[in-house]
Amino acid sequence: MSEPVISTAPQGAPASDSSDPVRALVAHADDNLVLAQRLGDWISRAPELEEDIALGNIALDHLGVARALYSHAGHLEGKGRTEDDFAMQRPEREFLNALLVEQPNGDFAHTMVRGLLFDAYQVELWTDLSGADDSTLAGIAGLALKEARYHLLHTSSWVIRLGDGTEESHRRAQAAVDALWRYTAELFEGAASEYHDIWRKVVGEVLDEARLQIPDDPYQRSGGRRGFHSEHLGPLLAEMQWMQRSHPGLEW
Amino acid sequence: MTYEVPVAPGESAELEETADLATEVWPMWEVFVRARRGISHVHIGSLHAADAEAALQNARDVYTRRGEGASLWVVRSSEINAFEPDDISDYVDANEKPYRLATTYEIPDEVGHM
Amino acid sequence: MTLEERFDVILAAEDKIEPADWMPDDYRKTLIRQIAQHAHSEIIGMQPEGNWISRAPTLHRKAILMAKVQDEAGHGLYLYSAAETLGVDRDQMQTLLHQGKHKYSSIFNYPTLSWADMGTIGWLVDGAAITNQVMLTRCSYGPYARAMVRICKEESFHQRQGYESLIRLCSGSPEQKAMAQDALNRWWWPSLMMFGPHDTDSTHTEQSMEWKIKRVSNDDLRQQFVDMTVPQADYLGLVVPDRDLRWNEERGHYDFGEIDWEEFWAVVKGNGPMNRDRIEHKVRAWDEGAWVREAALAHAAKKEGAIT
């Protein structure tokens, strides 16, 4: 496989500053919130009732983690911002989530593949952060790690079922991998290369068992962590923030 | 009745029970939960899943949303063998063997709890 | 003792009928009808509230709503399982729902037009459901009664969160309070309709009461509901949209106006505001999931083949 070519965000973009703990917390919170918002759309639309419930659980897990991280970020920042200030009052350019999570749900294969790629990353992330010096963050990460491990179990077993199911499901799962692979290198930007290596191994094993190919496309997208998003995030935020934007300053 | 739909005038009260299915369906599984260590697994309900792994994951998602379970079993419903209530009473009548019940034995009070 | 006598003895003793017991065919049919309609109602009921998950005004409210709609999927699942013990298949029941041959509660054929509808549905619709469901935990059919115990336990938060959210609106800005009043105006009468036709016009009531499937009549339940909710509306400072509503000292109950039965039957027959949309949504999800369900079975078959 070729080395990834990372596209750069437009000139003049503020560089991601991992030394700013508030910014890092907000980025992780945004990942979780945006994915929760996406997964919430599946409720009442899943292939079977059992899966409606499973996707609901995963969405609730991500939402819970997002809320905990926003609250902690607000506390560290010391400007009195609440979880809802972060979620509902920031414009798109201030959202720092990775591009992967804002990608549309697509079909069930897209959602499961997106989940697999992201969950494998989150398991590493939370493993790492559960040893953080910041004890609040370590606590959040410890809880999130348990949840992420279950998400990974769920998405990887589905990807295997779909990849090694029928001809149609294989075709759809491969199309999802082809479409989403280019949003994965961004997750490891600025991190030591071992993280990306472990992730490649975990994901690679699942895809192998699913008889799915990693696309031979070296092109990778990036920019979400610096606030440069795809066109998919804007409509998601418009919908999510609509109540607070149209009725400012009220308690709900 | 809250969720019961009344029969509209001119409509049949008879409810159809079978339909032709376009696709094959996921088999049914029975779910058993052990709420905490030290007690037995108890039947909690059923669900549908294509395989055992999915059945276990679904059982976790469906039946332990409020942290109810420490351990889960799933069994294909078709694998369960049962004695029907009438069969059992054909074979067993506890009243015929009173000597199996502790309460049929008289022990003097001064012996203490036994 | 004949099978029928044995069945009667179990009922008389307030014991439960279990799946393997002999039961009269009409008892079985009545149960299937009621449990299937109940299950369908939970499943279709996910849609009106699901409509607001993406737009909930705060993350806290979003989490509550998501959990509630997800609970409804669980409740539908428990109920389908209870019906399956009577020998009908879940997928067949769902298919019959898709074909319009099975029905669900008319209340879910009304649209959710503002955020206040979420609180109002919790307060009134779940309130009406609880009035009924508590009674059903004593139903004579074991699997149904057990499903209802579980559902009632899980559902205790549904009504409370709804009312609490309305308290917030009614103590908020005039705009928020108007939103709550508008929601009450739209949901009050459909909520009263949930209890069904008058006892005198109800075809099933008498037999169902005899079989202990149903334990309180439609009109009695409706009266209970009105007596319970009117003071709750007063507390919120909202006006119940019924000019005939007044306390009757003599009866010790509220008197209230007549339901628009024409509207009631129109919605039952499929001509409510959302009947078509609800089924279309359900059928689309089901059809779009067909390849996923097939793939899971195909994969399971491959794995089984590999082991043997």
- Listed as ranges, residues in chain A with pLDDT below 70 are 1-18
CB contact under 8 A, A57 and B65: yes
Residue among A40, A47, A60 whose CB faces C293 most closely? A47
Please state, in angstroms and rounded to a whole number, the distance separating the CA atoms of residues B48 and B58.
8
The pLDDT value given to residue A9: 42
| pLDDT beyond 90 at C203 | no
Average pLDDT rounded to a whole number, residues C83-112 = 94
How far off is chain C from B103, nearest CA to CA, in Å? Answer: 25
Closest CA relative to residue A224, chosen from A72, A110, A101, A69: A101
| A165 in any annotated domain | yes
Inter-chain CB pairs, A–C, below 8 Å: 142
Q: How far is A166 from chain C (nearest CA, A)?
A: 5
Q: In whole numbers, what is the pLDDT of chain C averaged over residues?
A: 93
Q: CB count, 10 Å around CB of C281?
A: 18
Nearest C-alpha in C relative to A240: C55
Q: Measured between alpha carbons, how far is A131 from B38 in angstroms, rounded to an integer?
A: 33
Distance CA C4, CA C18 (A): 14
Tokens standing for residue C302: 């491959």
Q: Which of B23-32, B67-76, C49-58, C296-305 has the highest mean pLDDT?
A: C49-58
Phi/psi at C97 (5° precision): -65, -45
Has residue B19 got a pLDDT over 90?
A: no
Could you say which residues from 142 to 171 on chain A have a Cβ atom under 8 Å away from some Cβ of chain C?
A: 160-162, 164-166, 168-169
In sequence order, what are the residues at sequence separation of 6 or more whose Cβ sits closer than 8 angstroms to the Cβ of residue A9? A222, A223, A226, A228
Which chains are adjacent to chain A, needing at least 3 Cβ pairs under 8 Å? B, C
In a domain, A2, yes or no: no
pLDDT band at B7 (very low <50, low <70, confident <90, very high): confident
The CATH class for the domain spanning B25-105 reads alpha beta
CA nearest C301 in A: which residue?
A165
**Could you count the other beta carbons within 10 Å of the beta carbon of residue C276?**
13
| Residue range C221-244: mean pLDDT, rounded | 96
Give ∠ CA A209-A212-A215 in degrees, rounded to 5.
140
Q: Does the distance separating the beta carbons of A251 and C289 come in below 8 Å?
A: no
Instruction: Determine the pLDDT at residue A16.
Output: 46
Kind and range of the H or E run holding A47: none
Side chain identity, residue C104: Y
In the Cβ-directed half-sphere of C159, how many Cα atoms lie within 13 Å? 18
Q: How far is the C-alpha of B50 from the C-alpha of B21, rounded, in Å?
A: 17
pLDDT at C30 over 60: yes
Q: What is the pLDDT of residue B85?
A: 63
* pLDDT number for residue B83: 79
| In a domain? residue A219 | no
Q: With CB atoms and an 8 Å threshold, state whether C105 touches B5.
A: yes
**Interface contact flag, B7 C41, Cβ < 8 Å:** no
Question: CA-CA distance, A69 to A65, in Å (whole number)?
Answer: 6
CA distance C5 to C12: 10
Return the bridge partners of B47, or none. Answer: B29
| The total number of structural domains that make up chain A | 1
Contact criterion met (CB < 8 Å) for B50 and C36:
no
Q: Within a domain: residue A198?
A: yes
> Cα–Cα distance between A175 and A168 in angstroms, integer?
11
pLDDT at residue number A10? 41
Number of H helices, E strands in chain A: 9, 2
Section C33-40 average pLDDT: 94
For residue C166, the model assigns a pLDDT of 97
Contact A53 B54 (CB under 8 A): no
pLDDT tens sequence across B41-82: 999 999 999 999 999 999 999 998 877 667 999 999 999 998
Residues C286-307 have a mean pLDDT of 92
Any idea which residue has 């009035």 for tokens? C131
Residue C293 has pLDDT above 50, yes or no: yes
Residues facing residue B55 across a β-bridge: none
In 3D, which of C133, C111, C131 has the Cα closest to residue C49? C111
**What is residue C305's predicted lDDT score, i.e. its pLDDT?**
81
Determine whether the interchain pair B62/A50 forms a contact, defined as Cβ–Cβ distance below 8 Å.
Answer: yes
CA–CA separation, A38 and A123 (whole Å): 20
CATH number of the domain where residue A87 is located: 1.20.1260.10
**pLDDT score, position C253:** 98
Give long-range contacts, CB 8 A cutoff, 24+ apart: A231-240. Answer: A232/A102, A232/A103, A232/A104, A233/A34, A233/A92, A233/A95, A233/A97, A233/A102, A234/A92, A236/A34, A236/A37, A236/A38, A236/A102, A237/A92, A237/A95, A239/C54, A239/C55, A240/A37, A240/A87, A240/A88, A240/C54, A240/C55
The pLDDT of C152-159, averaged and rounded, is 86
Instruction: Report CB contact under 8 Å: B4, C71.
Output: no
How many other β-carbons are positioned within 10 Å of the β-carbon of residue A35? 29
Give CA–CA dist C167/C263, Å, rounded: 30
Q: Is B71 helix (H, G, I), strand (E, B) or coil?
A: strand
Q: How far is CA A243 from CA A35, A41, A84, C174, in A?
A: 20, 17, 12, 16
Looking only at the bridges linking them, the beta strands covering C246-248 and B71-76 are: unpaired
Strand, helix or coil for residue A158? helix
Long-range CB contacts for residues C21-27, cutoff 8 Å, separation at least 24: C21/B85, C22/B86, C26/C207, C27/C211, C27/C213
B32-36, B98-102, C154-158, C242-246: which has the minimum mean pLDDT? B98-102
pTM of the model as a whole: 0.92
Chain B neighbors of C99, CB-CB under 8 A? 19
CA angle C185, B3, B67 (to 5 degrees): 100
- CB-nearest to A84 from C58, C165, C281 is C58
H/E stretch holding A60 reads helix A49-77
- The verdict on residue A106 lying in a domain is yes
Residue of C nearest to A67 (CA): C59
Instruction: Tell whether the model's pLDDT for residue B90 goes beyond 70.
Output: no
In a domain, A94, yes or no: yes
For chain B, the domains span: 25-105
pLDDT on residue A13: 38
Please give the pLDDT value at position A3.
55
**What is the pLDDT at residue B95?**
66
Choose the weakest-confidence range: A142-151, A236-245, C13-22, C57-66. C13-22
Domain that holds residue A140: 21-214+224-246
CA dihedral A26, A29, A31, A37 (to 10 degrees): -130
- Work out the average pLDDT over C266-270: 93
C116 closest CA partner among A250, A22, B23, A52: A250
A4 occurs within a structural domain: no
- Chain B contact set for A209 (CB, 8 A): none
Task: Please report the sign of the dihedral spanned by the C-alpha atoms of residue C123, residue C126, residue C132, residue C135.
Answer: negative
Pairing state between β A5-6 and A219-220:
parallel
Query: Is residue A1 one of the residues assigned to a domain?
Result: no
Torsion of CA A228, A232, A236, A241, to 10 degrees: 30
